[in-house]
Amino acid sequence: MKYYDMHEDAYKQLKAKDKISWDGETDPSKLFDHEINQAIGKRIDHFFESKDGLKAVDLGTGTGTAALNLARKGFSVVGYDLSETAIELAKKNASELKLDLKFEVADIISIKTNDKVDLVVDSSLLHCLVEKKDRADFFKLSFDLLKEEGLLFLHTMIEAADMSEMTDREYLVYENHILYSTGPERWDMKWMQVQGKKVFPHRYITTTEMLEKEIHEAGFEIVESLVDPQVKSTGTFCGWLKKR
Ligand SMILES: C[S@@+](CC[C@H](N)C(=O)[O-])C[C@H]1O[C@@H](n2cnc3c(N)ncnc32)[C@H](O)[C@@H]1O
């Protein structure tokens, strides 16, 4: 399954080392301080004064980083992820934090739901979707899920002026906004030759201008956004979007 093997393997390795998140945390309560929760936390009370009766969906929830925080704030939450191991860890994290929310294994490219929610969160998933069609499907799902006045929060990688942290790594190749990676051949990925290496497309790293165009074409407009020019190896776009 597209996008599956590398993510599932990564979570299996984390679980084997008693880690409880993509970033290698060991304490579930530390997830509340994660950069995505800090970014959401800056404006969530402004956009949603009361969370009573409000619903949120977390796409690419992983081990529940954003979903757990939204549940703690009072939203009724469902977190979706492709990886069974991630969802198993997310459920364990929820139980340890005594939070009541749902987690489901699902490929967001084929989710079917009639649910309507107030908030959709892109939990650093969009940059994992490298094909144009998959990214369009992500935006369509978000659009269909949202109530008319609902908001989509994006947290996604943006190309930085200095991409050397990516290009200096032997297992990565960066070309035309796609970060390619080498990996075990048993992974069912879209293998290809790029710059003399056998790699698969791993991340889509857009520019702000390209992302703004994509957002517009998907039927959204930006209510507020902030681009942190370089967090770690790339920039990060944090944006609150509404339907146009
Ligand atoms: C960069 S990780 C972020 C994980 C988590 N949100 C966090 O912040 O710790 C991206 C997540 O997206 C998930 N993912 C990738 N492609 C997906 C898809 N097509 N459908 C659902 N989840 C997907 C991966 O399994 C992974 O958990």
In whole angstroms, give the CA distance from residue 66 to residue 59.
9
Atom 20 (ligand 1) nearest CA? 107
pLDDT at residue 30 greater than cutoff 90: yes
Q: Supply the pLDDT for residue 232.
A: 65
- Cβ atoms of 201 and 130 within 8 Å: the answer is yes
Q: 185 in a domain, yes or no?
A: no
User: Tokens for 146?
Assistant: 């949202």
Q: Supply the pLDDT for residue 234.
A: 87
Q: 172 in a domain, yes or no?
A: no
Span 188-205, mean pLDDT? 95
pLDDT band, very low/low/confident/very high, at 129 (cuts 50, 70, 90): very high
Q: 166 in a domain, yes or no?
A: no
Q: Supply the pLDDT for residue 231.
A: 59
Kindly report, residue by residue over 76-113, the tens digit of the pLDDT. 999 999 999 999 999 999 999 999 999 999 999 888 88
pLDDT > 70: percent of the chain: 98
Q: Supply the pLDDT for residue 227.
A: 86
Residues 6+ apart with CB under 8 A from 139: 214, 215, 218, 219, 220
Q: Considering only 6-20, 129-143, 221-235, which range has the smallest mean pLDDT?
A: 221-235
Residue-level length of the chain = 244
Best substitution site from 4, 7, 103, 231 to test ligand 1's pocket, by max atoms within 8 Å of Cβ? 7
Atom 19 (ligand 1) nearest CA? 107
Q: Supply the pLDDT for residue 1.
A: 64
**Torsion sign, CA atoms 53, 54, 58, 62:** negative
Domain that includes residue 84, residue range: 4-159+205-243
| Domain CATH code at residue 223 | 3.40.50.150
In whole angstroms, give the CA distance from residue 228 to residue 160.
9
Read off the DSSP letter of residue 108.
T
On the CB side of 92, how many CA atoms lie within 13 Å of its CA?
16
pLDDT band, very low/low/confident/very high, at 13 (cuts 50, 70, 90): very high
Question: How many whole angstroms from 142 Cα to the centroid of ligand 1?
Answer: 15
Beta strands in the chain (DSSP E): 55-59, 76-81, 102-105, 117-122, 146-158, 172-175, 178-181, 192-194, 197-204, 220-231, 234-243
Closest approach atom of ligand 1 to CA 21: 9
Q: 13 in a domain, yes or no?
A: yes
Q: 89 in a domain, yes or no?
A: yes
Read off the DSSP letter of residue 187.
S
Q: 167 in a domain, yes or no?
A: no
Kindly report, residue by residue over 172-187, the tens digit of the pLDDT. 999 999 999 999 999 9
The tally of domains found in the chain comes to 1
What global pTM score does this model have?
Answer: 0.96
Question: How many whole angstroms from 89 Cα to the centroid of ligand 1?
Answer: 13
Atom 17 (ligand 1) nearest CA? 82
